[in-house]
Amino acid sequence: MALATALLAGGAHAQGFDFESVTRLARERASQPYRPVSDRLPADLAKLNYDQVRDIRWRPDRALWRAEKLPYEAMFFHLGLYQKEPVLINEVTPQGVRHIPYSRADFDYGKNQLRPEAWGDLGFAGFRLHNHLNSSAYKDELVVFQGASYFRALGQGQQYGLSARGLAIDTVGGRGEEFPRFTEFWLVRPDPLSTQVTVYALLDSPRATGAYRFDIQPGAQTTTTVRSRIFVRAASSTPPIATLGVAPLTSMFFFGENQPRKEDFRPEVHDSDGLMVATGEGEWLWRPLQNPRQTLVTSFATKNPKGFGLMQRDRQWTSYEDVEARYERRPSAWVRPLHDWGAGRVELVQLNTPDETHDNIVAYWVPAQMPAPGQPLEFAYELSWQGDEQQRPPGAWATQSRRGMGYTKLSAQALRQQVQYVVDFEGPALKALPAEASLKAVVTSDANGKVLENIAYRNPATGGWRMTVRIQRLQADRPIELRAFLQHDNHAVSETWTHISLPE
């Protein structure tokens, strides 16, 4: 089936293609009713199962920019099974914009018996960019754009884990989540000495459109500088947007030290272990992730946030013991705004997952004010894919949050009513303290919890400090919200550990 393209006509326009060019397309679409893209595949392609679709692979020798021996290469994903809605892909060169058509010669179809020559310009499911990330002898995968507005990237020595998205709409708060999708991409041909690669994207959905620019710079910490301009669609028969999620991150938390799973030999299984927030007021927050029985939504209101991210702080292989998944290599994703974002909230959505194959964690920024139809809402931020070296609070931070009691003489009934957390902290603020220093654990609870014990003491095994918190749950079927930090001479010397203790 043939696929129409929305290229700008004329050589002069093409040579000047930039973020404003994509903005014009997004604004124009926002003024019109939404037109969904057909997901109808050719009959023989639609019949393929999962393994048969996986047997269709891009031929590396056909990679875009390989013949020119440029520092980056692009390869494309084939449509089929779960990826049915095509995207348009174009190349931006000094000579103009060139649509990249689907060609059967670009793919190896494996054992499949197909007739691609009858399909026409089928389009693609997405693309990936390659670069000499880890070795001068081989170009590794650097970033992938595939499925709705999802993308994910890698820094040196990392292994794919969490993903980012262009935009989230009504993940909670509305009548059902809407998944905007990138419908068209423009890949800017890099120079032979380019240290970054640029991608433009057009986003579309029933209630919003958007123009995006991604500047991707590989390294030990690969950074994706994102510029987005979002328009709320004027002509929409659907209800108004309830929750607009900017810079959304999606991850997985199955179980961990704060929520162990006794039937699994692995100590922890997760792509991220906590949400970190740097508020505009100067506070650093750490919320350990969980796998709740029911959907759990919490948020942190602030103005002009300094950053937020889903982090994989625990980088020790012994914490996971998984020789295949290698969760200790999964990247953290840190969002740093490049301008004032105004008032709003960082929202964390935690869903139940029965296993590790499903993403169940979402975090994003929700602006306090929604724009009027036709008026752009603009956000620019740096998204860093971090490994062993990652964003930390300036003072001290939690390195682990363990739940459970040690030896105790409490009765069985008392144990059912109480919960204990042991939290370890480390950081330069703690190392700078004199040997005789005394720290205080400042702990507060909501109305459903009574603080029974809160102590802070040195951990001689690590050189850091340990906090023990024991809480009595007043209503057994309700959660407890806790906040705690370490204090020295009336000054906070650690981030704020903020946790939801879920009922058993």
Average pLDDT, stretch 71-98?
Answer: 96
Q: Tell me, what's the pLDDT at 235?
A: 65
Specify the pairing of strand 284-288 against strand 496-501: parallel
Percent of the chain surpassing pLDDT 90: 90
Examine the pLDDT at 107 and tell me if it is beyond 60: yes
Higher-pLDDT residue of 414 and 93 is 93
Whether pTM > 0.85 for this model: the answer is yes
Helix H or strand E segment including 431:
helix 428-431
The reported pLDDT for the residue numbered 15 is: 53
Dist CA 459 CA 426 (whole Å): 10
Output the six-digit token pair for 377: 């809402």
Does residue 13 surpass a pLDDT of 60?
A: no
Residue 416, pLDDT score: 79
- Which of 165-179, 222-236, 398-412, 463-477 bottoms out in mean pLDDT, i.e. has the lowest? 398-412
Q: Is the pLDDT score of 175 beyond 90?
A: no
The rounded distance, in Å, linking the Cα atoms of 31 and 482 is: 46
What tens digit of pLDDT does each residue of 286-326 get?
999 999 999 999 999 999 999 999 999 999 999 999 999 99
Q: pLDDT band at residue 11, thresholds of 50, 70 and 90?
A: very low
The mean pLDDT of the chain is: 94
pLDDT score, position 504: 77
Q: Dihedrals φ, ψ of 444, to 5°?
A: -130, 155
Closest by alpha carbon to 410, among 402, 419, 401? Answer: 419
Mean pLDDT of 237-265: 94
pLDDT at residue 197 in the model: 98
Q: Given pLDDT bands bounded at 50, 70 and 90, which one contains residue 379?
A: very high
Q: What is the Cα gyration radius of the chain?
A: 25
Which pLDDT does position 405 carry in this prediction? 86
Q: Which single residue is written with the structure tokens 């989230």?
A: 168
Q: Where are the alpha helices (DSSP H) in 11-126?
A: 11-15, 19-30, 43-46, 50-54
Report d(CA 341, CA 368) in Å as an integer: 10
Would you state the pLDDT for residue 415?
73
Statement: residue 503 has pLDDT above 60: yes
Residue 17 pLDDT more than 50?
A: yes
